[in-house]
């Protein structure tokens, strides 16, 4: 069965002060089947967001950003090297995105209703667009939607804005949703409710989901499979159950131990002792060499 989207040997370089820039993504391969939920976890700077942006064609528009490898959507053309127009096309039909910070994504001077309406394709819905806007806003747990459509983003709470973002993403009925730390900016109670909404919306629509988060508990509860990233690579992939109960890679093992040892919620989630980190780095370096031999 053809996957909905498949990335093969994806490599991304981003410009920095250094001449060649830094390689943020190293030979990442990822497949997402129709209706499947895949989590990407890993510590800060491991390349999760750059991977998510590459999959949605939303890397910074800078001629020095370099992408190699392959990204294909089912029945689609190769998207690595595709034009901005082709990516726009793919996004408008197939991929919805939910990012961490709704204010950078929402238009501050456009009413909520219009922003949702803009992502609705009238040919794909039975209701008039205005009714569909109201329906979608209700789907994500917002109330009093008739008033809400006339409001501006700054008049809403953080949790409401994040729900609006989910509404915008699902309004176009995408095949795939990419959610990058969708609730990190919210407090714990609101986080849980917004995640439950996302979970529910994805189930009802049968949409595939790529959920990016450093929060293993969140990813563990919402996905079928998990890929663990470390310094730009996927070091382990498996079913969510396998990865969480029988991790194979020393980094995943360390990660789970560091999470389990958490008692104080303010402890750094990814506190891996330096000696263990050296061991992991050696292990990863060896694996990388083996990959190069195979390639
Ligand atoms: P976090 O959990 O903090 O969100 P992440 O896993 O999402 O981390 P990325 O944002 O994907 O990490 O970053 C991967 C690497 O790419 C990091 O070294 C980061 O500094 C670098 N990077 C990210 N965005 C840019 C950019 N626009 N320009 C240059 N370097 C970048
Ligand atoms: Mg990130």
Ligand 1 atom nearest 52 alpha carbon: 11
Question: Could you count the other beta carbons within 10 Å of the beta carbon of residue 28?
Answer: 24
- Separation of 40 CA from ligand 1 center, angstroms? 14
Coil, strand or helix: which one is 153?
helix
Angle formed at CA 194 by CA 189 and CA 195, multiple of 5 degrees = 100
Task: Indicate which ligand has the atom closest to the C-alpha of 41.
Answer: 1
Residue with CA nearest ligand 1 atom 4: 44
Ligand 1 atom nearest 50 alpha carbon: 11
Judged against a pLDDT cut of 60, whether residue 146 lies above it is answered with: yes
Q: Predicted ipTM? A: 0.97
Domain spans, the chain: 5-294
In this predicted model, what pLDDT tens digit does every residue of 14-24 receive, in sequence order? 988 777 789 99
Residue with CA nearest ligand 1 atom 2: 44
Give the chain's mean pLDDT.
90
Angle between helix 250-260 and helix 274-294 axes, rounded to 10 deg:
150
pLDDT grade, residue 295 (50/70/90)? low
- Separation of 150 CA from ligand 2 center, angstroms? 32
Task: Indicate which ligand has the atom closest to the C-alpha of 233.
Answer: 1
Q: Among 107-116, 135-144, 173-182, 281-290, which is the least confidently predicted range?
A: 281-290
Judged against a pLDDT cut of 60, whether residue 267 lies above it is answered with: no
pLDDT grade, residue 10 (50/70/90)? very high
The per-residue pLDDT for 8 is 97
The per-residue pLDDT for 18 is 73
- Separation of 243 CA from ligand 2 center, angstroms? 21
List the CATH code of the domain at 5-294. Answer: 3.40.50.300
The per-residue pLDDT for 73 is 95
Task: Indicate which ligand has the atom closest to the C-alpha of 45.
Answer: 1
Ligand 1 atom nearest 15 alpha carbon: 29
Beta-carbon contacts of 272 under 8 Å, excluding residues fewer than 6 positions away, are 254, 255, 258, 280
List strands edge to edge, sheet with 5-14. 22-32, 5-14, 66-73
The per-residue pLDDT for 98 is 93
Q: Give the C-alpha separation, 147 to 145, whole Å.
A: 5
In this predicted model, what pLDDT tens digit does every residue of 13-57 receive, in sequence order? 998 877 778 999 999 999 999 999 999 999 889 999 999 999 999
Judged against a pLDDT cut of 80, whether residue 71 lies above it is answered with: yes
The per-residue pLDDT for 269 is 55
Residues with CB under 6 A from ligand 1: 14, 16, 22, 24, 42, 44-50, 60, 214
**Count of helix runs (H) and strand runs (E) in the chain:** 12, 9
- Separation of 63 CA from ligand 2 center, angstroms? 22
Q: Is the dihedral of CA 268, 274, 276, 280 positive or negative?
A: positive
pLDDT grade, residue 229 (50/70/90)? very high
- Separation of 65 CA from ligand 1 center, angstroms? 13
């Amino acid at each position: 069965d053809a996957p909905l989207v498949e990335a093969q040997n994806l490599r991304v370089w981003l410009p920095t002060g250094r001449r060649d820039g830094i390689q943020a993504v190293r030979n990442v391969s990822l497949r997402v089947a129709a209706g499947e939920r895949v989590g990407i976890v890993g510590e800060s700077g491991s390349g999760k967001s750059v991977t998510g942006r590459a999959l949605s064609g939303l890397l910074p528009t800078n001629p020095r950003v370099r992408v190699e490898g392959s990204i294909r959507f089912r029945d689609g053309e190769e998207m690595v090297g595709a034009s901005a127009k082709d990516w726009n096309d793919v996004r408008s039909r197939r991929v919805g995105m939910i990012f961490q910070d709704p204010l950078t994504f929402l238009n501050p001077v456009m009413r909520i209703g219009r922003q949702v309406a803009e992502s609705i394709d009238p040919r794909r819905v039975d209701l008039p667009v205005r009714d569909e806007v109201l329906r979608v806003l209700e789907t994500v747990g917002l109330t009093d939607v008739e008033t809400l459509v006339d409001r501006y983003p700054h008049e809403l709470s953080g949790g409401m804005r994040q729900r609006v973002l989910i509404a915008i993403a699902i309004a176009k009925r995408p095949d795939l949703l990419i959610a990058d730390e969708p609730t990190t900016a919210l407090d714990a109670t609101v986080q849980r409710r917004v995640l439950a909404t996302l979970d529910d919306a994805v189930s009802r629509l049968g949409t595939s989901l790529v959920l990016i988060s450093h929060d293993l508990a969140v990813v563990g509860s919402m996905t079928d499979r998990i890929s663990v990233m470390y310094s730009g690579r996927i070091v382990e992939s498996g079913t969510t159950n396998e990865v969480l109960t029988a991790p194979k890679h020393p980094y995943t093992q360390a990660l789970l131990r560091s999470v389990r040892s958490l008692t104080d919620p303010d402890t750094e989630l990814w506190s891996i002792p330096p000696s263990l980190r050296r061991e992991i780095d050696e292990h990863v370096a060896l694996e990388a060499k083996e990959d190069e031999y195979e390639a």
